[in-house]
Amino acid sequence: MLYVILADDAPGSRPRREAARPGHMARMAEMEAAGRIVVSGPRLASDHPDPATAGIAGSVIVAEFESLGAARAWAQDDPYVAAGVWTNLVVQPFHKGFPRS
């Protein structure tokens, strides 16, 4: 089943995000290789197309997990949580409506 993970970045966490990014990206690459990611990326703090300029407000991940508990555990185990980057984690079941492919 699909689940959405929404996370806010803590104020002033950009240096911690940059330090924890390699570990986070390694986990994301594992999920991508397993074909489990529908979409993921940073939520920008403004409408500038460059994340470095816009700033990052948080993250969104839509991916396949075995259960809600597994999705929550995966999110809680992310390096961004350990580094104090992600706050206000929301993990919910998700139904993909569009595109229909």
Cis peptide before 42 (omega within 30 of 0): no
Give the residue-averaged pLDDT of 17-45: 97
Amino acid at 37: I
More confident position, 5 or 100: 5
pLDDT digits (tens, 9 = 90+) for 44-67: 999 998 888 899 999 999 999 999
Give the residue-averaged pLDDT of 74-92: 97
Total-model pTM: 0.94
Could you give all domains of the chain from N- to C-terminal order, each with its CATH number? Answer: 2-94 (3.30.70.1060)
pLDDT at residue 101 is higher than 90: no
Q: How far is CA 67 from the centre of its chain?
A: 17
Residue 17 exposed, middle or buried by CB count within 10 Å (0-12, 13-18, 19+): buried
Structure tokens at 85: 């980057």
Q: 2 and 95 in contact (C-beta within 8 Å)?
A: yes
